[in-house]
Amino acid sequence: MKTTEAQLIQKLRHAASKPGFKSGIALGIGDDAALFAPRVGYQTILTCDWFLEETHFVRRLHPPDSVGWKSLARAVSDIAAMGGQPRCFLLSLALPEDLTGRWLDEFLGGLRRASRKLHCVLAGGDTTRQKKILINITVVGEVRRNQAILRSGAKPGDLIYVSGRLGEADLGLQLLRRKTQIAKSDPALRKHLYPEPRLALAQWLAESRIPTAMMDLSDGLSTDLPRLCEASKAGAILEGFKIPKISVPKWSSRKTPDSLELALDGGDDYELLFTVPARKTNLLPRAFKGLPLTAIGKITAGRSIQLAQPDGKTKPLESAGWDPFRT
Amino acid sequence: MKTTEAQLIQKLRHAASKPGFKSGIALGIGDDAALFAPRVGYQTILTCDWFLEETHFVRRLHPPDSVGWKSLARAVSDIAAMGGQPRCFLLSLALPEDLTGRWLDEFLGGLRRASRKLHCVLAGGDTTRQKKILINITVVGEVRRNQAILRSGAKPGDLIYVSGRLGEADLGLQLLRRKTQIAKSDPALRKHLYPEPRLALAQWLAESRIPTAMMDLSDGLSTDLPRLCEASKAGAILEGFKIPKISVPKWSSRKTPDSLELALDGGDDYELLFTVPARKTNLLPRAFKGLPLTAIGKITAGRSIQLAQPDGKTKPLESAGWDPFRT
């Protein structure tokens, strides 16, 4: 039996039902558009993200539940990057006809879990049929006026911090690709499949007004740090040995991934990258709710981005993270 | 020379520059997300729309300039449908590498013209590379609190109105597909390639509080009217001879399209469909700024949707408009 668009929308409407919190949605799925009631004293944050089969995920490798979770989580990470709170989202979904049954149900299951966990309600969207799975998610968030942390505020002398450990999600992807038996609970695999945007930390940082600039790490430190520096019209020096890396047990069959390479170039970590004036570093805890915060370098005058080696020498940092137009 | 994502974003940033009106954009392209300053006393309207190669347009038939214009115009039409004003939009664009030159420039030209005409500013987006052109546009609009016109307010006895003439855009598509020489100024062709959402009429209707329900006609009257009736838990009777149709000169080579079929089933008109209580019809002009407003039927109790024939008999209206999952 074929699924009509109306039936598909009915499934989405069901997945959007009953958020257990005040969402701001005055009118949800089923009209020409959704209505959202913005809070007085807040700015609205707007972001959208592609999540496309073969580009961002692979049908035979990624469980539909993870595709649902991650499509929302990664878009919400851009709200975290501004120091904001997510409020609602629009889902644009294009699917092959034969995935409108079980695949869609599992996808919506993951999406719904993310929606509840991240306090971000499905408010509307658009659906159509395609050969490949196409997902686009727009997230609407809010931040108190003048409290958003931009990429552009870093000043020479500021220390560069990251949350968590870098490279873990990329290791998870490599484990998934190896197709050997991996425990579902493997932390690297979980970080790749079910990333958690650093909302609580980001909101605390925004309220504290400690950081001068902030962004999320989606494409890898070596690609994202230059973006922050570009926006701030500054350079940076990273100290490779300070970057919080993961330890990778030796692989038998292939070359074991290098921890530093993973940390510099691995994408999809959704950790926060932020800068703090030297005089304010003492206001920053070493960890926020168990999540380590680590100084990994310094913002510099000039525009070069350098990586300091263990021997004290520096070399230019090469951007080798994710750029769809560079491959 | 290959285009990097940064270069592509630079092109988009240029296309977004200098709106000649107060846009509400506090932070545009280049950060993790955009910041929008909502107006006090207004609700935010949110809508998104797919515009996909082969599904919604064809690369060899549709000029890139039209793809740019139409991708925004059709999404803005959903803002009009609520009685609102567009404010800004997010562009998600996926392109083949070889279209990042001239095709992209012409696309952005059309998009920019629409952006200026519709007073809707590019605030951000996401870009990636794909084999086919994928476009998704999110439009953010505003409407005064309690002034949005929903689909759900129609009551039995209300008269059903449409703006303009129906079926013209579908005729334009058929002309385009025939590939004979068509004047670029042909009104049907222009309506298909460069539709104009009925913003001024919609805002006047919202302020007047005359309509009980409203939506835009994107998929054809025979598909869209049932949606309005479904939302309003009502039925309808349409009078076929009252529907404002276009006259189609006889075609020599193929069967000439039927005016009534075009008006009932043709998509992409982006006219407004709205309902008015009988006692308020005298408040409605026959035309708004030259655009005819025509009563074409009545909302009824019960749930059936009927089409009255010239002989006075009625038959159920068959939905034959656009449903991507029905084909």
Predicted ipTM?
0.93
The answer to whether residue A301 scores a pLDDT higher than 90 is yes
Q: Tell me the Ramachandran region of residue B44: left when phi exceeds 0, alpha when psi lies from -120 to 50, beta otherwise.
A: beta
The answer on A200 and A126 residing in a single domain is no
Which residues fall within 8 angstroms of residue A232, CB to CB, at 6 or more apart?
A151, A152, A153, A154, A155, A213, A275, A299
Whether A30 and A9 have beta carbons less than 8 Å apart is answered as yes
> Amino acid letter at A166?
L
The answer on B16 and B117 residing in a single domain is yes
pLDDT confidence of residue A17: 59
Q: How far apart are CA B204 and CA B149, in angstroms?
A: 11
The answer on A291 and A219 residing in a single domain is yes
Residue of A nearest to B91 (CA): A48
The answer to whether residue A1 scores a pLDDT higher than 50 is no
Residue of B nearest to A125 (CA): B48
Q: How far apart are CA B248 and CA B262, in angstroms?
A: 10
H or E stretch at A6: helix A5-15
The answer on B139 and B14 residing in a single domain is yes
- pTM of the predicted structure, to 2 decimals: 0.94
| Least-confidence region, from A183-192, B21-30, B85-94, B140-149 | B21-30
Could you tell me what percent of chain A has a pLDDT over 90? 80
Nearest by CB to residue A40, choosing from B33, B40, B152, is: B40
Contact A27 B150 (CB under 8 A): yes
Q: How far apart are CA B106 and CA B102, in angstroms?
A: 6
Residue of B nearest to A323 (CA): B5
The answer on B197 and B138 residing in a single domain is no
B116 vs B23, residue with greater confidence = B116
pLDDT confidence of residue A84: 98
Contact A35 B43 (CB under 8 A): yes
Could you tell me what percent of chain B has a pLDDT over 70? 94
Most confidently modeled range among A151-165, A248-262, A305-319, B176-190 = A151-165
Inside any domain, residue B241: yes
Helices (H) and strands (E) in chain A, counts: 8, 14
3-class state of residue A237 by DSSP: strand
Inside any domain, residue B83: yes
Q: How far apart are CA A137 and CA A92, in angstroms?
A: 6
pLDDT confidence of residue A69: 98
Our count of domains for chain A comes to 2
- Nearest CA distance, A82 vs chain B (angstrom): 7
pLDDT confidence of residue A87: 96
Helices (H) and strands (E) in chain B, counts: 8, 14
The answer on B215 and B67 residing in a single domain is no
A255 vs B162, residue with greater confidence = B162
Nearest by CB to residue B45, choosing from A4, A33, A215, is: A33
The answer on A301 and A164 residing in a single domain is yes
Contact A35 B123 (CB under 8 A): no
In total, chain A counts a number of residues equal to 327
Lay out the sheet containing A121-129: strands in order across. A121-129, A85-95, A134-144, A42-52, B34-36, B25-27
- Which residue carries 């449409």 as its tokens? B162
Inside any domain, residue B326: no
Whether A138 and B124 have beta carbons less than 8 Å apart is answered as no
Neighbours of B254 (CB within 10 A): 8
CATH code of the domain in which A290 resides:
3.90.650.10
CATH code of the domain in which B55 resides:
3.30.1330.10
- Which residue carries 């409203």 as its tokens? B214
Whether A283 and A209 have beta carbons less than 8 Å apart is answered as no
Inside any domain, residue A311: yes
Instruction: Work out the average pLDDT over B235-261.
Output: 90
Neighbours of A289 (CB within 10 A): 9
For residue B88, the cross-strand partners are B121, B140
Phi, psi angles (nearest 5°) of residue A21: -155, 165
Q: Return the structure tokens found at A202.
A: 């980001």
pLDDT confidence of residue A321: 66
Neighbours of A76 (CB within 10 A): 31
A193-207 confidence digits (pLDDT tens): 999 999 999 999 999
Residue at a domain's end among A119, A144, A169: A144
Residue at a domain's end among A144, A174, A196: A144
Find the distance separating the first CA and the last CA of chain A, reported in whole Å. 41
Instruction: Work out the average pLDDT over B213-233.
Output: 96
B269-313 confidence digits (pLDDT tens): 999 999 999 999 999 999 999 999 999 999 999 999 999 988 889
pLDDT confidence of residue B253: 72
pLDDT confidence of residue B1: 45
Residue at a domain's end among B120, B144, B168: B144
Nearest by CB to residue B33, choosing from A30, A82, A152, is: A82
pLDDT confidence of residue B122: 94
Q: How far apart are CA A248 and CA A245, in angstroms?
A: 9
pLDDT confidence of residue B305: 96
The answer on A202 and A132 residing in a single domain is no
Inside any domain, residue B33: yes
Instruction: Work out the average pLDDT over B68-94.
Output: 97
The answer on B194 and B277 residing in a single domain is yes
- B96: Cα within 13 Å, side-chain hemisphere: 9
Could you tell me what percent of chain A has a pLDDT over 70? 94
Exposure letters B257-271 (e unless 16+ CB within 10 A, then b)? bebeebbbbbbbbbb
- Nearest CA distance, A6 vs chain B (angstrom): 9
Inside any domain, residue B149: no
pLDDT confidence of residue A14: 78
3-class state of residue A61 by DSSP: coil
| Least-confidence region, from A111-120, A162-171, B10-19 | B10-19
Q: How far apart are CA A128 and CA A130, in angstroms?
A: 7
- Nearest CA distance, B33 vs chain A (angstrom): 5
Inside any domain, residue A327: no
The answer on A273 and A203 residing in a single domain is yes
Q: How far apart are CA A42 and CA B44, in angstroms?
A: 13
Instruction: Work out the average pLDDT over A84-104.
Output: 95
pLDDT confidence of residue B75: 98
pLDDT bracket for residue A45 (50, 70, 90): very high
Q: Return the structure tokens found at A177.
A: 């690709």
pLDDT bracket for residue B324 (50, 70, 90): low
pLDDT confidence of residue A208: 97
pLDDT bracket for residue A22 (50, 70, 90): low
> Amino acid letter at A109?
G
Nearest by CB to residue B33, choosing from A40, A81, A88, is: A81
The answer on B310 and B251 residing in a single domain is yes
The answer on A167 and A281 residing in a single domain is yes
Q: Return the structure tokens found at A111.
A: 């999406």
Mean residue pLDDT across chain A: 92
- Nearest CA distance, B253 vs chain A (angstrom): 33
pLDDT bracket for residue A293 (50, 70, 90): very high
Task: State the best of B2, B25, B32, B49 to mutate against chain A, taking most chain A CBs within 10 Å.
Answer: B32
pLDDT confidence of residue B76: 98
> Residue B265's domain spans which residues?
159-316
To the nearest 10°, the Cα dihedral for B271, B272, B273, B275? -150
- B87: Cα within 13 Å, side-chain hemisphere: 25
Q: How far apart are CA A265 and CA A260, in angstroms?
A: 8
Inside any domain, residue B325: no
pLDDT confidence of residue B327: 42
